[in-house]
Structures are given as C-alpha cells and as structure tokens.
Structure 1
Amino acid sequence: MILSVEGLAFNYPSRSVIKDIKFSISKGDFLAILGVNGAGKSTLLKCINRILKPHTGTVFIKGEEAFKLGRRELAKRIGYVAQRNESIRSTVFDAVLLGRKPYIQWEASREDLEIAQDALKSLGLTEYALRYLNELSGGEQQKVVIARALAQKPELLLLDEPTSSLDLKNQFEVAKIIKKVVKEQQIAAVVTMHDLNLAIRFADKFLLLKDGKIFAAGGIEVMTPENIESVYSVPVKIDKIEDVPVVIPV
C-alpha cells in the first residue's frame, strides 16, 4: 500500500470542508478525485501533502505516518502539482531540476541532471530546456511543473487539475503520461479532475466527493449515471464509442 488515508477531516472557521475521508491506493493506481467546485478536492490533496493540517485523521505513506516525516523526506515521497503555479524567471531546465532539491546536498550530480533531462523528455519539453518560463504559454508552463514533480522520483503523485489549462491534444498527452509513469514506475497518482470523460478514459480508481464526504469510491463500476447525477445534479447517460465509455449530459 502506497497511500492510506484514515478519517481525514478539515474545517475552516466558517465551515467544514472534508469529513471522515478514508481510502487507500497501491502501486500502479491512478485515482481520480471527482466532484463539483467546492466539494473539497483541492483541500484533500493539501491535507495529504501537509500543506494544510487536518483537524482529525491520519495519512500513511507506505506505512509511515506522513505528519511525522521531515519536509525533505516528505518531498522525496510525494510530488505535488498545485492548480496555480507562479512563473519565476528561470529556464525550463532549471525549473525542472528544482525537483531534485530534496536529494541535492551541495550541487547537482550527473544523476540529478540526467533525471531532469528524462523528465523533460517525457513531457515533450526537451526543445524548451533553455527557454525561460515566462516565454511559455500557460499550458506549457503547466507541463514544466508536472515534469518537475516527476523529477522528484516520488512514490506518490498528487496533481490538482493538471489538465485544466491545456488544449485537447495536451490534455490527452498529459493524462497518458501520468498513466504511463504510474504503471511503468509502479508508483501511485491521486489526481483531481473536472473532465469526467478524461477521468474514465485514463483513471482506474475513482473517488466521488459530495459536500465534503465520499459519496462513492471504487473502480469503473462506481461511475454510473445515477452516481454522477447525484454528485453533479445533472442527468447523464453513459455510452461507448469504440469501447471507450463516454459520459453524455441529457
């Protein structure tokens, strides 16, 4: 088991955001967290990554309590990509190399440089290596941040709407890359998503949040028209096009 979340809850002063969240994922799992805006998806990721301190509950990374790990050690275990990332005056290569920071003592080693190069290659960014981040489009910058997370060589990827600023081609490319990395490197990924069709196509596990609670969790069997309508308040049907499930609002 790579990630185990047990009874996680978080409250802001004025309201409760997530309540009694329990789930676990193993090597090779791609978990999509789904739900309407305000359901608690981003808050859940931040609690797992210790950006926010949950009021109750525990998070275990490969059996070790995440809240007892040092920051450097946690960064070796978890690669996190936020919804919004500030663009700094840095080359693309240097930005990705920052993912090796938890491992670097004095200066980057040859291994660190090679890992950064491999991460750039996996996202199709090699030709951008010496360009500055502020010269890239928003979608290209998002891919750089994902490459930086991959350069950490984490056991767990936490990605908060990683495809939200990408065009159709890059949405599919990034989702395919995440799935490929998870399977080949036998790590796990927890990804918040709004696009149900992208989630169904690439994820193998699903967590549907409603009002801060788990409404349904499991494999493709939980992605039913009834569950989707209950969570999103929109009637849908699910058809197949060339054996690929497609969610269609009706």
Structure 2
Amino acid sequence: MILSVNELAFTYPSHSVLQEINFSICKGKFLAVLGVNGAGKSTLLKCINRVLKPCAGAVFIQNDEIGKLSQREIAKRIGYVAQRQESVCMTVYDAVLLGRKPYIQWEASKKDLEITHKALKMLELEEYSLRYLNELSGGEQQKVVIARALAQEPNLLLLDEPTSSLDLKNQLEVVRIIKRVVRNQQIGAVVSMHDLNLAIRFADKFLLLKNGEVFAAGGLEVMTPENIESVYSISVKVKEIDGIPVVVPV
C-alpha cells in the first residue's frame, strides 16, 4: 500500500471542510478525487502532503505516518502539483532541476542532472529545456511542473486539477502522461478533477466527496448515474462510445 488515509478531518476556524475521510491506494493506480467546488478536494490533497495539518486522523505513506516525517523526507516521497503555479523567470531545465532540491546538499550531482534529463525526456520536453517558462503555452507549463514532481522520484503524485486551464488536446495529453507514468513507474497518483469524462476514462479508482465526506469510493462500479446525480445535483446517463465510458448530462 503506497498511501492510506484514516479518519482524516480538517476544520478551518469558520467551518469544517473534511470529516472521517478513509481511502487507500496501491502502486500503479490512478485515483480521481471528484466533487463540486468547495467539496474539499484541494484541502484533502494539502492534508495528505502536510501543507495543512489535519485536526484528526492520520495519513500513512508506505506505512510511515506523514506527521512524523520531516518536510525533506515528505518531498522525497510525494510529488505535489498545486492548482496554481507561481510565474517565475527561469528555464525549463532549472525548473525541473528544482525537483531535486530535497536531495541536493551543496550542489547538483551527476545523478541529479541525469534524473532531471530523464524527467524532461519522459514528458517530451527536451527541446524546451533552455526556453523560459513564460515563453511556453499553458499545456507545456503544466508538463514542466509534472516533470519537476517526477524529478523528486516520488512514490506518490498529488495533482490538484492539472487540466483545469488547458484546451481539449492538452487535457488529454496531460492525463495520458499521468496514466502512463503511474503505470510504468509503478507509483500512485491522487488527482483532483472536475472533468468527469477524463476521470472515468483514465482513472482506476474514484473518491466522490460530498459536503466534506466520502459519498462513494471504489472502482468504475461507483460511477453510476445515481451517485453522480447525488454528488453533482444533475441528472446524467453513463454511456459507452467505442468502448469508452462517457458521462452525458440530461
């Protein structure tokens, strides 16, 4: 088991966000976290990564409790891609090399440089390595931050709405890359998503949040019209087109 979340709860001073969250994920699996705006998806990812401290419950990565690990050790095990990225003036290569920060003592080693190059190659970014981030499209920038997370050599990827500002082609490309990397590297991924069709097509497992609680969790069997209607307050049908499941609002 790569990740196990047990009885997790989080409360802001003004209101409760998450209550009694339980789920786990094995290596090689892609879990989609689904729910309406304000359901607690981003907060959940931040609690897993210890950006936010839960008020109850525990998170375990490879049987080690996150709360007992240093920030450096967490960064070695978890690659986190936030929903919004700061715009900085640096090259693609340097941005990906930043993923090696938890490992670098005085200066980048030959191994750090090799892993950076491998991450660039994995995301097909080699030809962009000397370009500046502000010269890239939204899809290219998103690949860079994923490459940086992979340069950490994590056991787990946490991605907060990685396709939210991308066009259709780049949405498909980014999610395909995530799926391929998770399978080939045998790591886990927890991805908050708004697009149900991307989720149902590519994810292995699903966590449906409603009012800060787990409404349903499991495989494709939980992605029923009834569950989706209960969570999103809209009637849908789930159809197959050329073997691909599709959620259609009605």
TM-score by length of 2: 0.98
* SS of residue in 2 equivalent to 1:21: strand
Q: Pairwise mapping of residues 97-112 of structure 1 onto structure 2 (< 5 A)?
A: 97-112=97-112
The reply to whether residue 166 of structure 1 matches residue 188 of structure 2 is no
Distance in 2, matches of 1:168 and 1:125, equals 20
Deviation at 1:103, TM superposition (A): 1.0
CA distance in 1, matches of 2:247, 2:116: 37
Consecutive unaligned residues in structure 2, runs of 5 or more: none
Partners of 2:169 and 2:108 lie apart in 1 by 34
Q: How far apart in 1 are the matches of 2:152 and 2:166?
A: 23
Cα distance, 1:9 vs structure 2: 0.5
1:8 paired residue number: 8
Report the count of equivalent residues.
250
Provide the C-alpha distance between the structure 2 equivalents of 1:93 and 1:54, rounded to a whole number of angstroms.
35
Distance 1:47 1:33 in 2: 14
- After superposition, residues 1-250 of structure 1 pair within 5 angstroms as 1-250=1-250
- CA–CA distance in structure 1, aligned partners of residues 237 and 163 of structure 2: 24
CA contact (8 A) 1:76 1:153 kept: yes
Contact conserved, 1:29 with 1:205, CA < 8 A, in 2?
yes
Let me know the Cα RMSD of the aligned residues.
Answer: 0.8
Q: TM-score, normalised by structure 1?
A: 0.98
Percent identity of the aligned residues?
Answer: 76
Instruction: Give the deviation of 1:35 after TM superposition.
Output: 0.3
Q: Distance in 2 between matches of 1:138 and 1:86?
A: 13
C-alpha distance in 2 between matches for 1:124 and 1:172: 15
- Code of the aligned partner of 1:147: A
Distance 1:181 1:134 in 2: 25
> Does the 8 A contact of 1:123 with 1:174 survive in 2?
no
The alpha-carbon deviation at position 138 of structure 1 amounts to 2.6
CA–CA distance in structure 2, aligned partners of residues 50 and 221 of structure 1: 31
1: CA distance between counterparts of 2:141 and 2:176? Answer: 18
After TM superposition, give the deviation of residue 124 of structure 1 in Å.
Answer: 2.1
* Contact 1:142–1:165 (8 Å) recurs in 2: no
Q: Which amino acid aligns with 2:2?
A: I
1:126-151 CA distance string (max 9 Å, x none): 11110111222233222211110011
Structure 1 residue runs of 5 or longer lacking an equivalent are none
1:121 shift after superposition: 1.8
